[in-house]
A and B are shown apart, each in its own frame.
Chain A
Amino acid sequence: MSKYTEDDLKKELETKEYEYGFYTDIESDTFPVGLNENIVRAISHKKEEPAWMTEWRLEAFRYWQEMTEPDWANVHYKKPNFQDISYYSAPNKKPKYNSIDEVDPELLETFNKLGISLDEQKKLAGVAVDIVMDSVSVATTFKDTLAEKGIIFCSISEAIKEHPELVKKYIGTVVPQRDNFYAALNSAVFSDGSFCYIPKGVRCPMELSTYFRINQAGTGQFERTLVIADKGSYVSYLEGCTAPSRDENQLHAAVVELIALDDAEIKYSTVQNWFPGNKEGKGGVFNFVTKRGICEKNAKISWTQVETGSAVTWKYPSCILKGDNSIGEFYSIAVTNNFQQADTGTKMVHLGKNTRSTIISKGISAGKSQNSYRGLVQINPRADNARNFSQCDSLLMGNECGAHTFPYIEAKNKTAKIEHEATTSKIGEDQIFYCNQRGIDTEKAIALIVNGFSKEVLNKLPMEFAVEAQKLLEISLEGSVG
């Protein structure tokens, strides 16, 4: 996000005002600010949910009321006022802009750098486009293929209505309502999200992505995702998008639950690039996410994440290795620049025998940002022959940023084998010199070195994502040289 001047900010504010004026007249489908039981009931009612779901939400809300906001993370921000937020606004059917010329030029520049096609650019920026758009038709053919295999892939509200037995059985089993402050809040007020079920023995033929879902728009700030991989199935799921999204919601509290039954495998990849605030550290999204998966016998869950956005990130995708021989993996790149703060990592809870986990975390901090890795590896008394390997590397650029590592390692079984390694360093002057000497300018050289540093994680991303993610790293670190 380079060259963000006051003029840009002014322009953005202007367009925003316009944006609001544009649709409040037509649709006043937004709830009053504040949160109480009636609001929770109303959200549930609005979404035409069955009674058990309403009760479930209310239960979560009651837990939430008794909880206090956690402050143990290594991040500092002004706590949001939860009574100052509107918890429901109907998905917006109206476009934000009438033509692409109205879109913030900086945003467009970023799109171009990422190599996003013009049609997609329009869609992402919220410009009105023709009904027949590439991705829509793709999505339709998509749906047919999936239905053939018996795969259910829809929004969670749809799933609550159409597949209540599955939702009822699994929702809240991995992240219970009272798990933590934000999970409880999410359980009470979640607006929408994705639901995915892969039947027994089915190998999902394509990468599932929220990006391709037709009714993807307006999932809102409290997203809830539930992925169930039945026995022996496989799915690769992509969340987010490399394109920057300018969401005006300041607080995002999502919950993601993964359930991998016996012999199943789930690969969950995330690219997060929400508005990180401007160069002075103003604005930006607070991203407080609870992500957790449970592995039954011989199952495998693999988390891959590229975190470049948000002003404050608080995110620990975790694996509960419940079944024997199950495997948990976590690959992460977290980049912070300017005033961004990230406290991210994972938890690997080994319960079953012969369980294995791998953690590779790469933190890159530049500008005045703070980047923390916080992880837990827990070997329980019955988890014989558990194996863990963790590696956390940090790269510092400039002496105004910070890199922190807080690993928690708890072993209660004598057969456990745990290795943890962490290093912190900066980009070597000799490395840059070498590149310069070969005619690569410093900025490109840094991009090259950062890409090399993150290679292990980038390699784990699905093909399409990997290329974009690489470019994203470059853009995120722009202007951090020197």
Chain B
Amino acid sequence: MSLKDKLVSSYIAFEDHLEDDSPIHELRNEAIKVFETQGFPSKKEEAWKYTSLNALLKNNYSVFPKNERTIELKEVRKYFLHDIDTYKLVFVDGVYSSFLSDTTHDSLDVCLLSSALNKPKYKAVIENYFNKTAVKDSLTSLNTAFAKEGAYIHIPKHKEVEKPIEIINFSTGTEAAILLQPRNLIVVGENAHVQIIERHQSLNENQVLTNSVTEIFAEKRAFVDYYKIQNDAHTASLIDNTYVSQATQSHCRVHTFSFGGKLTRNNLNFYQNGERCDSTLNGITIIEGKQHVDHNTLVHHIAPNCESHQDYKGIFADSSTGVFNGKVYVEKEAQKLDAFQQNNNILVDDKATINSKPQLEIFADDVRCSHGCTIGQLDEDAMFYLQSRGIGKKESRALLMYAFANSVLESVKIPELKARINKLIANKIGVSLGFEL
């Protein structure tokens, strides 16, 4: 039985188990129908031209984990941003772990989607926001059909959240192969500020496929800073679907750091619904071996006087593959726009591959849109200069790579997180510079 058939048939059992009267019951039924007709995307689809899921879909994933394993804090402490205080939402094999988490209802809601879906108090929010910005494509629909658990974050008007919120999904590997489908809903009210860090971590060598959907709503003048740390085990794959809906004058920034995992696909979509929005999409990708990272971004400009900035850097070693498929779509009404898209890549080894497709679709005339894409090597003159100053070859390379990625790294606003990412990069390059940038 193929994974698709398995999912469709287990949906019936899944629906039966749910508590009655869930407000999203209808949405689920519609979603599974979409998935049933469309199936998993294949390379024939333009958006999936360079990324094949075939190898992943052969695994016999268990959809509902039977075994449970509790994990000790000391085992996973290193995955948290432990040097500062944060709100935490921790899920183990898709199940909420109250023991590891630190939630709140005090003036803001950092809690679970499952409780938001079932408690009447949240009904209005769910009805207004849930599945409202997500595109109804096959993978998002699959997630919607099975949407049960995930983060629910609601920041009320004028609230500046004083500490970052961490969302961490662990998989413990009690099953040979597991499919996880976390679903996050984040609503940031007018004038509110929030910083969120998301991470997926597999704790052993078993196969994990995560098909995650995150919806972010930024109301008027809201500030959202979102960090995705993708440094998973080499047996874990991630399909991350993120949808950001922005209202007037809101600022949203999503930073994606892809260092680990077997196959990572980021579908990052921004919709600028109000005037004077500002969107930033940044990413650093450093991969090796047979890793595959695919960034598929869309910035949909609907209203005038907006800005968007995309900056993706990639370093590809061994026989890794990188894909950048960025699209800026400008509607007729979105005049006076400033959109910029940049994708720079370095190929370190002969078998590494880059496929880059930066697209512009423009229907408005009074706009400034540009994109740049480069593929190249480290500057030999710069290497020579550094070495002539007595810096070793390895260190020189590392220094140049840091410099290459620096424009993105600079945009990280949480110092502790920046230090952490610095360390991850050092590990990845295999050199520690002995100082922090």
Q: Could you say which of A404, A405, A406, A408 contacts B355, with CB atoms under 8 Å apart?
A: A408
Main secondary structure of the interface of B (DSSP, over half): strand
B374 contacts A by Cβ under 8 Å: yes
A414 contacts B by Cβ under 8 Å: yes
Known: A399-B335, A399-B366. A412 touches B376 (CB 8 A): no
Chain B residue nearest to A427 in the complex (CB): B365
CB neighbors of B among A398-442 (8 A): 398-426
Chain A residue nearest to B329 in the complex (CB): A404
| B376 A421 Cβ-Cβ under 8 A | no
Q: Which residues of A contact B62 (CB under 8 A)?
A: none
| A421 B355 Cβ-Cβ under 8 A | no
CB neighbors of A among B31-65 (8 A): 46
Q: Which residues of A contact B376 (CB under 8 A)?
A: 416-419
Complex Cα gap A407–B324 (Å): 11
Complex Cα gap A414–B354 (Å): 10
CB neighbors of A among B353-378 (8 A): 353-377
B349 contacts A by Cβ under 8 Å: yes
| B351 A381 Cβ-Cβ under 8 A | yes
Find the residue from B351, B365, B367, B370 having the highest chain A CB count within 10 A: B365
| A394 B362 Cβ-Cβ under 8 A | yes
Chain A residue nearest to B355 in the complex (CB): A410
| A404 B350 Cβ-Cβ under 8 A | no
Q: Could you say which of A398, A403, A407, A426 contacts B357, with CB atoms under 8 Å apart?
A: A407
A72 contacts B by Cβ under 8 Å: yes
B399 contacts A by Cβ under 8 Å: no
Q: Which residues of B contact A379 (CB under 8 A)?
A: 375
Q: Which residues of A contact B353 (CB under 8 A)?
A: 410-412
| B347 A414 Cβ-Cβ under 8 A | yes
Q: Which residues of A contact B350 (CB under 8 A)?
A: 381, 413-414
Q: Could you say which of B355, B363, B370 contacts A422, with CB atoms under 8 Å apart?
A: B370
Q: Which residues of A contact B356 (CB under 8 A)?
A: 407-411, 420
Q: Could you say which of A406, A414, A426 contacts B365, with CB atoms under 8 Å apart?
A: A426
Q: Which residues of A contact B363 (CB under 8 A)?
A: 399, 401-402
| B362 A404 Cβ-Cβ under 8 A | yes
| A418 B373 Cβ-Cβ under 8 A | yes
B143 contacts A by Cβ under 8 Å: no
Q: Which residues of B contact A423 (CB under 8 A)?
A: 368-370
B348 contacts A by Cβ under 8 Å: yes
Complex Cα gap A478–B206 (Å): 66
Chain B residue nearest to A393 in the complex (CB): B370
- Count chain A residues whose beta carbon lies closer than 8 angstroms to a beta carbon of B: 35
| A425 B367 Cβ-Cβ under 8 A | yes
Chain A residue nearest to B356 in the complex (CB): A409
Chain B residue nearest to A408 in the complex (CB): B357
Complex Cα gap A396–B353 (Å): 35
B25 contacts A by Cβ under 8 Å: no
Known: A404-B362, A414-B350, A418-B374. A409 touches B46 (CB 8 A): no
A151 contacts B by Cβ under 8 Å: no
| B423 smallest CB distance to A (angstroms) | 26
A319 contacts B by Cβ under 8 Å: no
Chain B residue nearest to A74 in the complex (CB): B361
Find the residue from A394, A411, A416, A419 having the highest chain B CB count within 10 A: A411
Q: Could you say which of A397, A401, A406, A420 contacts B373, with CB atoms under 8 Å apart?
A: A420
| A125 smallest CB distance to B (angstroms) | 36
B237 contacts A by Cβ under 8 Å: no
Q: Which residues of B contact A398 (CB under 8 A)?
A: 365
Q: Which residues of B contact A394 (CB under 8 A)?
A: 360, 362
Residue-wise interface mask of B (370-393) relative to A, using a CB-CB cutoff of 8 A (1 in contact, 0 not) = 111111110000000000000000
B345 contacts A by Cβ under 8 Å: yes
Complex Cα gap A413–B368 (Å): 33
Chain A residue nearest to B369 in the complex (CB): A424
| A409 B375 Cβ-Cβ under 8 A | yes
| A304 smallest CB distance to B (angstroms) | 24
Complex Cα gap A223–B362 (Å): 34
Chain B residue nearest to A424 in the complex (CB): B369
B132 contacts A by Cβ under 8 Å: no
| B374 A403 Cβ-Cβ under 8 A | no
Complex Cα gap A406–B356 (Å): 10
Q: Could you say which of A400, A405, A426 contacts B366, with CB atoms under 8 Å apart?
A: A426
Q: Which residues of B contact A412 (CB under 8 A)?
A: 351-353
Complex Cα gap A302–B1 (Å): 54
Complex Cα gap A412–B321 (Å): 9
| B292 smallest CB distance to A (angstroms) | 14
Complex Cα gap A311–B333 (Å): 26
| A270 smallest CB distance to B (angstroms) | 25
| B64 smallest CB distance to A (angstroms) | 40
B413 contacts A by Cβ under 8 Å: no
B163 contacts A by Cβ under 8 Å: no
B158 contacts A by Cβ under 8 Å: no
| B33 smallest CB distance to A (angstroms) | 26
Find the residue from A379, A381, A420 having the highest chain B CB count within 10 A: A420
| A404 B373 Cβ-Cβ under 8 A | no
Q: Which residues of B contact A416 (CB under 8 A)?
A: 347, 375-376
Complex Cα gap A182–B155 (Å): 57
Complex Cα gap A453–B360 (Å): 19
Q: Which residues of A contact B362 (CB under 8 A)?
A: 394, 396, 402-404, 424
B332 contacts A by Cβ under 8 Å: yes
Q: Which residues of A contact B361 (CB under 8 A)?
A: 402, 404-405
Complex Cα gap A409–B364 (Å): 26
Complex Cα gap A476–B31 (Å): 49
Known: A404-B362, A405-B360, A411-B375. A425 touches B368 (CB 8 A): yes
Complex Cα gap A399–B368 (Å): 14
Complex Cα gap A419–B372 (Å): 7
Q: Which residues of A contact B375 (CB under 8 A)?
A: 379, 409, 411, 416-418
Complex Cα gap A424–B360 (Å): 9
Q: Interface residues, chain B, CB within 8 Å of chain A?
A: 46, 332, 335, 345, 347-377
Would you mind naming 30 contact pairs between A and B with Cβ atoms under 8 Å apart? A72-B46, A396-B365, A399-B335, A399-B365, A400-B332, A402-B363, A404-B359, A404-B361, A407-B356, A410-B354, A410-B356, A411-B354, A413-B347, A414-B347, A414-B377, A417-B375, A417-B376, A418-B376, A419-B373, A420-B371, A420-B372, A421-B370, A421-B371, A421-B372, A422-B360, A423-B370, A424-B367, A425-B367, A425-B368, A426-B367
- The 3 A-B pairs at the shortest CB distance, nearest first, are namely A396-B365, A414-B347, A418-B375
- Beyond A397-B365, A409-B375, A423-B368, 16 extra complex contacts between A and B, CB < 8 Å: A381-B350, A396-B362, A398-B365, A401-B365, A402-B363, A404-B359, A405-B358, A405-B361, A406-B359, A408-B355, A409-B357, A409-B373, A411-B354, A420-B372, A426-B366, A426-B367
